[in-house]
Amino acid sequence: MNMMAVSMTAATPVMPAGRLPSVTLRARLLWLARVRVLWLVAGFALIAMIALLRIASLGFAGTAPQRTSLEEALMPPRGELTDRNGTPLARAFPAYSLWFEPGAMGDNGSPLVHSSAEAARQLKAIFPDIDEARMARRLASGKSGYLRRRILPEEANRVFALGEVALEIPRETDRYYPQGTLAAHVLGYVVEEKGGQTGMEQVLDARLSDAEKRMQPVALSIDVRVQGALEDELRRGMLATNAIGAAGIVLDVDTGEVMAMASLPEFDPNTAGAAGAVNVFNRATNGVYELGSTFKPLTVAAAIDAGVVRDFGKQWDASPVAVGKRSIKDSHPLGRSLNVPQALVHSSNTVTARVGDAMGAEKLRKTMIDLGMDRRPFIELPAKGRPIWPQGPWSRVTNMTVSFGHGLAVTPLHLASAYAAMVNGGIWRPSTLMKLAPADVPRGKRVFKESTSSRMRQMLRMISLYGTGKTADAPGYRVGGKTGSAEKAGRGGYDKTKLVSSFAAAFPMDAPRYVVVVVVDEPKGTIASSFQRTAAYTSAPIVGKLVPRIGPMLGVQPDDTRDVDISDLRYLVDKGE
Amino acid sequence: MMNSSQARSLGWAAVLAICLALVTVLSFKVHAVKSEVLLAERQLIWLEREKLLLETEFETRANQRQLAEWNQVEFGYAAPRSGQFLDGERQLASLGEVRGPDAPNPIRLARADIGDGAEGDAATDAAMRSPVSGAKVTLASAATEKDAGAVFTQAFGDFLIEASPIRPAKAETPRLAKALAAQGLTAQGLGE
């Protein structure tokens, strides 16, 4: 400004001749230059402003690069199922599939870099089980679709290395069962877009897909090691006797938690999909069977409870019982008379029927109802069999047949819960597949007296020491249990060729912790079972081999120096000493 | 020339400019750290997924059925018998009971050599004396760590035997020293 003022004063003409136009011209040019600079600056400022505005608008309103938090990224689409010790049983697993996309190259030429035959040959090198000619036709057809539903990460890498753009490897989340077929009936399977099917996948469907809760795995009550041992022994027993199926349950007597539950033949939840699966029938909770002699201890317990059996030395008539037109006989003659412990040890139908008769139908019926035998079993699984329960008031015949386990068909789980109540001091509790905290254990209801329970422990132990359960007596584990072999009811009466042999046991008998129930469906007489089909040769040996395997895992140590005290009953059975 | 108020305002402007520059630098730094955190988070996610993958693969390869099959074919482990369990401290203590005066020698089928046990240490300590004065030498390493001497010996034994007059004693393995002590030899004798 000062400069301008100076130039203006300097430009004031003293003698305004000749030079005046040039002075004004100079001023004009100067002015013009300044205006141009101003325009330039204004232009730059405008551009800068626009750029800034654009940046600001992008910053505020534009889409930021997608940013997922750690939790969101790691949250599985479906919650994990674990066993009671946290071993994963079912988890969401990132998997790869192989998809053929002919349009991936973006031109109208061949979808593949190599010829389809060459590409098929290369794929054959990665997946040896594919049909090369079929794969070549498939690639030549130019139709998009899955070439393989699931491939391994290393296979995905090798496919990627082929350099074929059309062979895409989309990443998909899969429901994966690391243990394979293990505990398949407990777990069930998942069908895409339909959710869990059968098993705990179906029961916990809402919980597992809940966004709030699916980060936390759900612990089931089963122990994967016990489950493995149970299935292993069951399978071996089933194959050895050429049976059509088998079921097994290991139940905690004090909480009702199912430690293991198996039904054979099994299915593979990894391959079960929308088409369903074979062998989903759960023999342990859905199959109802007349379990035969395994009911005799329950009858005797009810009779002790009712005061019908007080003197264990009392002799009961063991001759065939004539009821109406039928006659109840023992499978082999056991003498003229037997006492109650002998009747259990030698599995006498006649004495048990007479004990049941002396007690009366109503008392036995009430005990069976208290043990939940008239309803579907108490378990979370959707597959629960309805027992075949004699309707109305029981007749004398019904009473007598139920007393030794016929005329009433229940699931193996019913029997396991009843045995748990019989040996744990008389408290019946519903069984569960969820891991229970000590505070959540149901109080249960009293079915038997404490004194009855302790008598039954003695007698169950005596059965496996002196009677039909000898093959289940694992040394040191104080196993006590009862065999049961019943003919299957078919059309028009019982089928003599089809047997269901069962063994219900508890261990250790001096302080029972677990009940084991094993049911073998239609065993045949084979070399392995000494050409016998009865429970002593088919299901009891399974328990005898299973208990030593699972005992130490479940905190039961073998001990030769401990046992339940049977000294007051022993002389009644063991006459030799 | 500027007057003082002009200078002050210029000064303020300069301070403002510096502050602005600092804020800009700081915000760049903040953003840099933020994106580093983001990258680290991404890496965490990737690692977690990788862990899941490996864990699942391990679980699959070592599933119960597979283990049972391996056991049947390869290992043949059987369920433990009652004799393999101890019932509390009392039973454990009973194993160490002093033999009665007329009791026969127990039949031993196996023996464990305990090189670094308490006795072994006593023997090596006893063998270590200064070759000059005959006074006991307590090694710093022996006092702090039981194994250190043996480890050290294995690594540098031969080298140190030649290098030092005291070292031969230290360079022996504890077992050797024990054996020598039993024969009445001392490490001092060996060293000379």
Residues pairing with A96 in the sheet:
A151, A171
Catalytic residue among A116, A293, A417, A431: A293
A181, A476, A561: residue with CB nearest B81: A476
A559·B85 Cβ contact <8 A: yes
At A538, the amino acid letter reads T
Q: Which chain A residue has the Cα nearest residue B84?
A: A558
B60, B68, B85: residue with CB nearest A178: B60
Q: Is B162 helix (H, G, I), strand (E, B) or coil?
A: helix
Taking 70 as the threshold, does the pLDDT of residue B10 lie above it?
yes
Residue pair A520/A292 in contact (Cβ under 8 Å)? The answer is no
B64·A224 Cβ contact <8 A: yes
Residue pair B139/B149 in contact (Cβ under 8 Å)? The answer is yes
A232·B68 Cβ contact <8 A: yes
Min distance A496 CA to chain B CA atoms (Å): 35
Residue among A505, A522, A502, A523 at smallest CA distance from A514: A505
Q: Are strands A326-328 and A337-338 parallel, antiparallel or unpaired?
A: unpaired
Residue among B37, B47, B82 with most chain A CBs within 10 A, to mutate: B82
Please report residues of B whose CB lies closer than 8 A to that of A94: 49, 52-53
**Non-local CB neighbours of A198 within 8 Å, separated by 6+ positions:** A185, A188, A189, A280, A282, A381, A382, A383
Q: Does A180 touch chain B (CB under 8 A)?
A: yes
ipTM above 0.90, yes or no: no
At A97 the pLDDT is 87
At A295 the pLDDT is 93
Across A45-86, the runs of DSSP E, i.e. the strands, are: 81-82
Please report residues of A whose CB lies closer than 8 A to that of B81: 475-476, 548, 558
Please report residues of A whose CB lies closer than 8 A to that of B59: 87-88, 178-179
Q: Which chain B residue has the Cα nearest residue A553?
A: B79
Residue among A412, A377, A408 at smallest CA distance from A515: A412
Min distance A42 CA to chain B CA atoms (Å): 22
Q: Does A70 touch chain B (CB under 8 A)?
A: yes
Across chain B, mean pLDDT equals 75
At A19 the pLDDT is 56
Report the 10 Å Cβ neighbour count for A192.
11
At A49 the pLDDT is 95
Q: What is the pLDDT of residues B13-67, one digit of tens each?
A: 999 999 999 999 999 999 999 999 989 988 998 898 889 888 988 999 989 999 9
Residue among A2, A70, A270 with most chain B CBs within 10 A, to mutate: A70
At A16 the pLDDT is 54
At A15 the pLDDT is 57
Residue A567 known to be catalytic: no
Residue among A55, A74, A89, A479 with most chain B CBs within 10 A, to mutate: A74
Q: Where are the domains of chain A?
A: 227-573
A228·B44 Cβ contact <8 A: no
B48, B56, B85: residue with CB nearest A176: B56
Q: Is A443 helix (H, G, I), strand (E, B) or coil?
A: coil
Please report residues of A whose CB lies closer than 8 A to that of B38: 67
How many contacts (CB atoms, under 8 Å) link A and B? 76
**Non-local CB neighbours of A560 within 8 Å, separated by 6+ positions:** A475, A476, B82, B83
At B171 the pLDDT is 46
B64·A557 Cβ contact <8 A: no
Residues pairing with A190 in the sheet:
A196
pTM of the model: 0.74
A228, A231, A548: residue with CB nearest B79: A548
Q: Is A245 helix (H, G, I), strand (E, B) or coil?
A: strand
Q: Spell out the per-residue pLDDT of chain A, length 577, in tens.
A: 454 444 445 555 555 555 566 778 889 999 999 999 999 999 999 999 999 999 888 877 766 666 667 777 778 888 899 999 999 999 888 778 889 888 887 777 788 888 888 889 999 999 998 898 998 888 888 888 888 888 888 888 999 998 888 888 888 888 889 998 999 999 999 888 888 888 899 999 999 888 888 888 999 999 999 999 999 999 999 999 999 999 999 999 999 999 999 998 999 988 887 777 788 899 999 989 999 899 999 999 999 999 998 888 888 888 888 887 788 888 787 788 888 999 999 888 999 999 999 999 999 999 999 999 999 999 999 989 899 998 888 888 889 989 998 889 999 999 999 999 999 999 999 999 999 999 999 999 999 999 999 999 999 999 999 888 888 888 889 999 999 988 887 777 777 788 899 999 999 999 999 999 999 999 888 888 888 888 888 899 999 999 999 999 999 989 888 888 888 888 888 765 4
Residue pair A303/A356 in contact (Cβ under 8 Å)? The answer is yes
B45, B55, B81: residue with CB nearest A73: B45
A231, A552, A559: residue with CB nearest B87: A559
Report the alpha-carbon distance of residue A291 to residue A519 in Å, rounded: 9
B41·A70 Cβ contact <8 A: yes
At A356 the pLDDT is 92
Residue among A576, A146, A569, A548 at smallest CA distance from A342: A569
**Non-local CB neighbours of A153 within 8 Å, separated by 6+ positions:** A96, B53
Q: Which chain B residue has the Cα nearest residue A227?
A: B64
Residue pair A243/A520 in contact (Cβ under 8 Å)? The answer is yes
Report the alpha-carbon distance of residue A236 to residue A242 in Å, rounded: 10
Long-range contacts made by residues A18-26, C-beta under 8 angstroms, separation at least 24?
Answer: none
Q: Write down the CATH number for the domain with range A227-573.
A: 3.40.710.10
